[in-house]
A and B are shown apart, each in its own frame.
Chain A
Amino acid sequence: MVAVEANIQELLDGSLANKRKAQEALFRHFYGFAMSIALRYSRDEMDAADIVSHAFIKIFKSIHSFDSTKGSLHAWIKKIVVNEGLDHIKSRTRFSENVELETVTEPQINNSVIEQMGAEEIMEIVKKLPPATHAVFVLYAVEGYNHREIAEKLNISEGTSKWHLSEARKFLQQQLSTIYN
């Protein structure tokens, strides 16, 4: 573990010095991690590849701003990839500000159904969500952000974020019930 961290530090130093070999090694080290994040915000692999490539260009261009005392390199890279994924979704859609939601009835979804499904099957259903609702659902259910953080990231109100989450839950319930009934 210590050796891996030392190696990553070496790659960081090399990337700071604009050494292509070090940048390539750092890219390959974090490729799987970054791609798994990008796939959640994209409709297909090509979209995900766009997100990852743009994210790594930003990473190498702003690597001097990374401060290891404020957080891990993983967290820093994740933040950049998520922001790139959100920018990608924003480029495809507008986040409506006219919808607000304060109270909602939670849909009933059988957990055992989800457990039986594979990751790709679930992702296929999530991709069917409208882009803005897709983004809010992934940020909330997968990344673990709360509505205030999502509202800040997407520049929308918390009520709008809640509305999108509610819409996502209803849609998923409908889709899952269609598949297993």
Chain B
Amino acid sequence: MDERLKYEQLIGEKLQSLPIPDMQDAIWARVKAQLDIDLPTDDNDGGSSPQSPSGPGIIGWGLSVVIIALVTTFFILKNKPKKQDQKNNSTTTEQVSSPSVRNNGPPLPNNSTIKRTNTPLSTGADNSIPVITNDSAMQQDLGIAEPVRNDSMQINLPPPLVTVPPPKTDTTAQVKKGRGMPVNDSNYRIVPKNKN
């Protein structure tokens, strides 16, 4: 029983020469994948294949940063003209408001704004005169001959309670010629109806 029979030796020899299936690459891929988990390596000579997570990760992060930078730059450039417009508006208001205040009240320092002036108007109006804190509204209320860009502002303006004398044009102030519909004094003048 412990002796190998002749035919068993023949079978043994035959089974040594079984044709080998060509599965090398597939099996190595499995072995390598398992080794990458169990025995991670730092070598770049085959250890970090293109499939390894570190390579695409760095490229992916780099791409993300570039894309975010491009999008941010685009929005900054896109919003820049609007900011410049706003800046122009504010400077215009400042330029216009200062002389008008000078016309209706005591002289103010150069840096003063309309908001700071609580001096009553020269018409002798009582406390019912609304205190205007909005620069643009003030500009409209004072009857400044400054073209108004926003048409809706004209519609929403409250009727003036007092007749404001026409402003003296200050030749020193450089008022920027604006666009849109011009507003003149007749728009704000209250003309009593003649019953006769």
Of the candidate stretches A34-42, A66-74, A82-90, the one touching chain B is A34-42
Q: Is the CB of B59 closer than 8 A to any CB of chain A?
A: no
A147–chain B nearest beta-carbon distance, Å: 6
Give every chain A residue within 8 A of B27 (Cβ-Cβ).
27, 31, 49, 52-53, 56
Query: Are B8 and A111 in contact, CB atoms less than 8 angstroms apart?
Result: no
Q: Is the CB of A5 closer than 8 A to any CB of chain B?
A: no
Interface of A, helix, strand, loop or mixed by DSSP: helix
Q: Is the CB of A114 closer than 8 A to any CB of chain B?
A: yes
Query: Are B15 and A122 in contact, CB atoms less than 8 angstroms apart?
Result: yes
Bound CA span A147–B173, Å: 116
Give every chain B residue within 8 A of A57 (Cβ-Cβ).
31, 34-35, 38
> A20-B45, A49-B26 given as contacts; is B18 within 8 A of A27 (CB)?
no
How many chain B residues have a CB neighbour from A under 8 Å?
36
Q: Is the CB of B20 closer than 8 A to any CB of chain A?
A: yes
B74–chain A nearest beta-carbon distance, Å: 43
Bound CA span A69–B47, Å: 30
Query: Are A123 and B15 in contact, CB atoms less than 8 angstroms apart?
Result: yes
Q: Is the CB of B16 closer than 8 A to any CB of chain A?
A: yes
Give every chain B residue within 8 A of A39 (Cβ-Cβ).
18, 20
A82-135, CB < 8 A from B: 103-104, 106, 109-111, 114-115, 117-120, 122-123, 126
Interface range on chain A (Cβ under 8 Å from partner) = 35 or more
Query: Are A146 and B2 in contact, CB atoms less than 8 angstroms apart?
Result: yes
Chain A residue at minimum C-beta to C-beta distance from B36? A20
Give every chain A residue within 8 A of B15 (Cβ-Cβ).
40, 119, 122-123, 126, 138, 142
Binary per-residue interface labels of chain B (38-59) against chain A in the complex, 1 for a CB within 8 Å, 0 otherwise: 1101010111000000000000
Chain A residue at minimum C-beta to C-beta distance from B40? A18
> A24-B28, A140-B4, A141-B8 given as contacts; is B20 within 8 A of A35 (CB)?
yes
Bound CA span A19–B14, Å: 36
Query: Are B18 and A114 in contact, CB atoms less than 8 angstroms apart?
Result: no
Query: Are A114 and B41 in contact, CB atoms less than 8 angstroms apart?
Result: no
Q: Is the CB of B109 closer than 8 A to any CB of chain A?
A: no
Give every chain A residue within 8 A of B43 (Cβ-Cβ).
18-21
Bound CA span A7–B34, Å: 25
Query: Are B35 and A114 in contact, CB atoms less than 8 angstroms apart?
Result: no
Q: A: which residues have CB within 8 A of B? A: 18-21, 23-24, 27-28, 31-32, 35-36, 39-40, 45, 48-49, 52-53, 56-57, 60-61, 103-104, 106, 109-111, 114-115, 117-120, 122-123, 126, 138, 140-142, 144, 146-147, 162, 165-166, 169, 172
Q: B: which residues have CB within 8 A of A? A: 1-2, 4-12, 14-21, 23-24, 26-28, 30-32, 34-35, 38-39, 41, 43, 45-47
Question: What are 22 A-B pairs at a CB distance below 8 A?
Answer: A18-B43, A19-B46, A21-B45, A27-B28, A32-B20, A36-B17, A36-B20, A45-B23, A49-B30, A57-B35, A60-B39, A119-B15, A119-B19, A120-B18, A120-B19, A122-B11, A123-B18, A138-B15, A142-B12, A144-B12, A147-B1, A162-B1
